[in-house]
Amino acid sequence: MIHRRAFTLLGLLGLVGLATAPASAQTTSAIEVRVGETVSFTLPRLVQIIDTEDHAVATMVVTPDGHARITGVSEGRTRVIGRDLAQLPLIYPVTVVAARP
């Protein structure tokens, strides 16, 4: 049990390190999604770890074919942050807007 918590903590610390990544980190185009809708896009390379910073705003899944699907949960802004197999960071700004009437 302790090993599992330590692994989880190390993973979270790695994400914190990505959140403070320098300006030289690869930031990609902004993604806009509506509440309750899903946007799919192709990741530029294989990722080791990737997720949204705030699951209350958006969630995501990565499919085996290298696509990411982001679903808007509530209005707001977050980022998808991740690291590829070479430990290079990926950062996607995400804006979730109101659902269509």
User: What is the tens place of the pLDDT at every residue in 31-43?
Assistant: 999 999 999 999 9
Count up the domains in the chain and report the number. 1
Dihedral over Cα of 41, 45, 74, 97: its sign: negative
Residue 19 CB: number of other CB atoms within 10 A? 12
* Structural domain of 24: 2-97
Q: Which tokens is 79 given?
A: 């980022």
Q: Looking at residue 33, what is its pLDDT?
A: 97
Specify which residues 34 forms β-bridges with.
97
Question: Taking 80 as the threshold, does the pLDDT of residue 26 lie above it?
Answer: no
**Per-residue pLDDT at 21 exceeds 60:** no
Provide the CATH number for the domain around residue 74: 2.60.40.1080
pLDDT in tens, 35-91: 999 999 999 888 989 999 999 999 999 998 889 999 999 999 999 999 988 899 999
